[in-house]
Amino acid sequence: MKPKTIIEPFKIKSVEPIRFTTREEREKLLKDAGYNPFMLYADDVLIDLLTDSGTSAMSAKQWAGIMEGDESYAGSKSFYKFESAVNKITHMKHIIPTHQGRAAEKILFSVVGGPGKYFPNNTHFDTTRANIEFTGAEANDLLTEIGKQPEKRADFKGNMDIEKLEAFINEKGFENIPLCMITVTNNSGGGQPVSMQNIREAKEVCKKYNIPLFLDACRFAENAYFIKLREKGYQDKSVLEIAQEMFSYADGATMSAKKDALVNIGGFLALNDDELAMKCRNLLIVTEGFPTYGGLAGRDLEAVAQGLEEVVDEHYLEYRIKSVEYLGNKIVEGGVPIIEPPGGHAIYIDAKRLLPNVPPEQYPGQSIVCELYLEGGIRAVEIGSVMFGKYDDNGKLIPAMMELVRMAIPRRVYTQSHIDYLIEIILEVFNTREKLKGYKITYEAPMLRHFTARFEPLK
């Protein structure tokens, strides 16, 4: 028999205490932080769900790799280990290390971007969009319609709309589209996966117009596992084989190793085109470092190489995907509205439906984020009108499309009982939602205001 209980597929050798605070203490701490959890000291947080980026727990073998790191400036042994680990999954010819995903994006789009250029994607992640727009080019989202409906369940809500892609290419002209991207899983769209069929169809369209297809591969292993679970014909394939097939349709990839390489820093750019690789390497040398370390230490390359081995382990992925799903399903059973179905790396509470009496101008997502901290020391993040709201000429708020609260789950960091605790706190916040008030902004920076804004609760 296959046991029903899914356990953490690891033992814990080294522990990091988390600090308990009382509700009274948290009330003061949150007030001092201007009711913005970004401004809290991490040490005052019990369970930190701000991001899954760079927050993974490394394995004993990764830490051993840290000691093995070869810090030679050129030709480091650790680089070749890293290169071969990335190559095993992507089969790409040129592997260029960078210090983060956005550094890979910066280099790629500096070379291929510029005014008059267009870059379609299922949904661009904010750093990708920013790096494209910084060159004067346009970043375009062509997400499938079902992906825009938070309350609807479907298997692959991260898919690209293939018909729209072809129409887009015809409208803008293939010569103005240096590459097309697909983000797996679709981070900005709730961590929803993309099907193999969709990647294959996108490739066919791109090939017809001679446009290279790139993967934003940050969560390639989580995406591959969803394909194994949900797409016909993949049940008996290994996650590594599925990942290899995903990359076989791509001509290049950018990756933040802070996600599915299970490390705290790192990234890479993978390419097949020799000339493009040469241009990117030249820029890498100016901005990141020599091509065999690219902004990282030799020890970091070791940790990435080992992390890429571990992340395709199916016991790990089962624990990962199922514990996020468990959290999502339990709070849905309790009545909490979320983006359905639960994604790979995070649960997104739909604040608009949870707090219908708090209008967007009073930031319902921020209100829930604050209450999660006050009630249980949990740090989540608002993804709504605080983050994406704009003002019209009269200073009136133009709200974001959705008001969400994201709870991103760090990899291998929390156990089942942490998740059960989260469920209890979230349900308590939900059941006492009548008392939740809106907030007003008392200070904001002209750009990226969500990081440093200060708030006050409304009476």
Interacting residue with ligand PLP among 90, 128, 195, 198 (CB under 6 A):
128
Cβ of residue 85: shortest distance to ligand PLP, in angstroms? 18
Cβ of residue 224: shortest distance to ligand PLP, in angstroms? 15
- Complex with ligand PLP: residue 127 or 367, whichever CB lies closer: 127
Interacting residue with ligand PLP among 44, 216, 251, 288 (CB under 6 A):
216
The amino acid sitting at 249 is: Y
Provide the 3-class DSSP secondary structure of residue 387: helix
Segment 1 to 60, residues that bind ligand PLP, using CB under 6 A: 53
- Complex with ligand PLP: residue 345 or 379, whichever CB lies closer: 345
Segment 385 to 414, residues that bind ligand PLP, using CB under 6 A: none
Distance separating alpha carbons of residues 214 and 197, to the nearest angstrom: 16
Q: Is 182 in the site for ligand PLP (CB under 6 A)?
A: no
Q: Provide the token pair at 417.
A: 């009982």
Cβ of residue 105: shortest distance to ligand PLP, in angstroms? 7
Cβ of residue 241: shortest distance to ligand PLP, in angstroms? 23
Total residues at interface with ligand PLP (CB under 6 A): 15
Interacting residue with ligand PLP among 94, 117, 228, 258 (CB under 6 A):
258
Q: Please name the residue that has the structure tokens 């005052």.
A: 44
Segment 107 to 126, residues that bind ligand PLP, using CB under 6 A: 125
Question: Which CA distances in Å does 258 have to 56, 112, 116, 413?
Answer: 8, 25, 32, 14
- Complex with ligand PLP: residue 26 or 102, whichever CB lies closer: 102
- Complex with ligand PLP: residue 81 or 259, whichever CB lies closer: 259
Strand intervals (E) in 242-396 = 252-256, 267-271, 346-350, 378-379, 381-383, 390-391
- Complex with ligand PLP: residue 69 or 101, whichever CB lies closer: 101
Q: Comparing C-alpha atoms, which of 214, 117, 220, 202 is closest to residue 159?
A: 202
Q: Is 102 in the site for ligand PLP (CB under 6 A)?
A: yes
Q: Binding string, 62-101, against ligand PLP, x = CB under 6 A?
A: --------------------------------------xx
- Complex with ligand PLP: residue 81 or 219, whichever CB lies closer: 219
Cβ of residue 183: shortest distance to ligand PLP, in angstroms? 5
b (16+ CB within 10 A) / e for 389-426: beeeeeeebebbebbbbbbbbbbbebeeebbebbbebb
Which residues, including other chains, have CB under 8 Å from residue 155's CB and lie 6 or more apart? 193, 195, 226, 230, 231
Taking residue 42's Cβ as centre, other Cβ atoms within 10 Å add up to 9
Q: Is 267 in the site for ligand PLP (CB under 6 A)?
A: yes
Strand intervals (E) in 409-451 = 439-443
Q: Binding string, 337-376, against ligand PLP, x = CB under 6 A?
A: ----------------------------------------
Cβ of residue 154: shortest distance to ligand PLP, in angstroms? 20
Q: Please name the residue that has the structure tokens 């390497």.
A: 281
Q: Strand 378-379 and strand 47-48: pairing?
A: parallel
b (16+ CB within 10 A) / e for 429-450: bbeebeebebbebeeeeeeebb
Distance separating alpha carbons of residues 252 and 179, to the nearest angstrom: 9
Cβ of residue 89: shortest distance to ligand PLP, in angstroms? 17
Residue nearest to ligand PLP (CB): 101
Distance separating alpha carbons of residues 9 and 316, to the nearest angstrom: 6
- Complex with ligand PLP: residue 58 or 358, whichever CB lies closer: 58
Which residues, including other chains, have CB under 8 Å from residue 289's CB and lie 6 or more apart? 295, 296
Distance separating alpha carbons of residues 344 and 408, to the nearest angstrom: 9
Cβ of residue 418: shortest distance to ligand PLP, in angstroms? 22
| Segment contacting ligand PLP by CB under 6 A, of 14-22, 109-117, 243-251, 254-262 | 254-262
Q: Comparing C-alpha atoms, which of 295, 309, 274, 296 is closest to residue 58?
A: 309
Interacting residue with ligand PLP among 76, 256, 367, 385 (CB under 6 A):
256
Cβ of residue 299: shortest distance to ligand PLP, in angstroms? 18
Distance separating alpha carbons of residues 61 and 302, to the nearest angstrom: 10
Interacting residue with ligand PLP among 122, 187, 323, 366 (CB under 6 A):
187
Query: Which positions lie near ligand PLP, rule CB under 6 A?
Result: 53, 100-102, 125, 127-128, 183, 187, 216, 218, 256, 258-259, 267
